[in-house]
Amino acid sequence: MSQTSPVITVQQHILEEQKRFPGSSGEFSWLLSGITMATKLIQAKVRRAGLTDILGAQGDINVQGEVQQKLDIYSNEVLIQCLSARESIGVLASEEDEKPLLVHQGSENATYAVVFDPLDGSSNIDVNVSVGTTFSILRRPEGVSLDEPEKWVLQPGARQIAAGYVVYGSSTILVYSVGNGVHGFTLDPAVGAYTLSHPNMKMPEQGSYYSVNEAYCDSFPERYQQYLARLRNGDLGRKYSSRYIGSMVADVHRTLLKGGIFMYPPTESNSDGKLRLLYEANPIAFLVEQAGGTAIDGTRRVLDIVPDSIHQRTPMVVGSQVEVADFERFFVGSNSDAA
């Protein structure tokens, strides 16, 4: 009787998955290892945050107009450093940098762009609540040179070839997809390896949680308020409970596992919602759809949105088929607010 069940590391899994990419000569797994390495370094900082000078604000204001936290900066630098060592990457775009970054100046064989939010949920860093990292991998568009880095990343989310996130929570979990289902890997601190713990994740058809910042409820468009009332009144055939962590990655991870709905609607201060299309909504929408859920911006599929700027924002209504279909059935195209 064997004492050991097979351990499948994320590297092994990626090697298997990348056989789906004709002609990829291991460069894809080498690229993803840049992300896994960076997130191990980030999680090491997160785990010791109170013991090292990594808490609190760095003091600068980033392109989002938000005060950068020290861990935002560290996470951003680590991801840029690890990914710049992958010659298959030509362009990086980060929530923390106004413009896309060129890596491997002039290396013509660079074929990928990586877009990321290095530290998602910054407001939760200092209070020991789960935070995360999101990433989205795009192929260089035909005929586009390194002189036009924006064109590498301004592509609809449907063109992502891979996407994922890491939640630095009670454990550290990497969740990713290359378009062949969604798979979760828990970082085993004893060996420092991401090991397969959630193979082929499927979102329940209906959940019992809704997740939205209700403090802004009065400024949501009418149909969002009516929809939340439907959930609270049990109109979808069950009682709902509210869960809102304030770190999108953690709220989405729970929704992937338990079902339900996560929303960031348009608000008075953010008429297009707060979340950014390229490195928050798109990777999440890719994973949610791969897991059998639905991801819309309130009216249309997130993955169909053609971006025109790197940091553009979008409303998000993502989750189980039943909840999102109900939102669409009752409110998309209704004569109430279009947004």
Q: Does 298 bind ligand AHG (CB under 6 A)?
A: no
Q: Site for Mn ion (CB under 5 A): which residue of 17, 27, 120, 326? A: 120
Q: Site for Mn ion (CB under 5 A): which residue of 17, 27, 117, 297? A: 117
State which residue, 88 or 134, has the beta carbon closest to Mn ion.
134
Residue 189 structure tokens:
């601190």
Residues 6+ apart with CB under 8 A from 330: 223, 226, 227, 230
Distances, alpha carbon 148 to alpha carbons 17, 90, 276, 277, in Å: 30, 11, 21, 20
**Chain residue whose CB lies nearest Mn ion:** 120
Instruction: Find the part of the chain contacting Mn ion (CB under 5 A) among 23-31, 87-95, 137-145, 205-213.
Output: 87-95
Q: Does 213 bind ligand AHG (CB under 6 A)?
A: yes
Q: Does 246 bind ligand AHG (CB under 6 A)?
A: yes
State which residue, 102 or 318, has the beta carbon closest to ligand AHG.
318
Closest approach, Cβ 163 to Mn ion, in A, equals 14
Residue 143 structure tokens:
């005929």
Long-range contacts of 325-328 (CB under 8 A, 24+ apart): 325/294, 326/227, 326/230, 326/236, 327/227, 327/261, 327/296, 328/296
User: β-strands 209-211, 241-242: how paired?
Assistant: parallel
User: β-strands 112-120, 131-139: how paired?
Assistant: antiparallel
Q: Which of residues 92-111 bind Mn ion (CB under 5 A)?
A: 95
Cα 9 to the center of its chain, rounded Å:
21
Look at the block and give the residue holding tokens 């568009």. 141
Instruction: Find the part of the chain contacting ligand AHG (CB under 6 A) among 5-13, 162-170, 243-251, 289-297.
Output: 243-251
Which of helix, strand or coil describes residue 120? strand
**Cα Rg, the chain, nearest whole Å:** 20
14 binds, among Mn ion, ligand AHG, none (CB under 5 to 8 A by kind): none
Q: Does 251 bind Mn ion (CB under 5 A)?
A: no
Mask: binding to ligand AHG, 109-128, rule CB under 6 A, as x and -? --------x--xxxx-----
Q: Which of residues 28-67 bind ligand AHG (CB under 6 A)?
A: none
State which residue, 95 or 297, has the beta carbon closest to Mn ion.
95
Report the interface residues with ligand AHG, using CB under 6 A: 95, 117, 120-123, 213, 246-248, 274
Report the interface residues with Mn ion, using CB under 5 A: 95, 117, 119-120
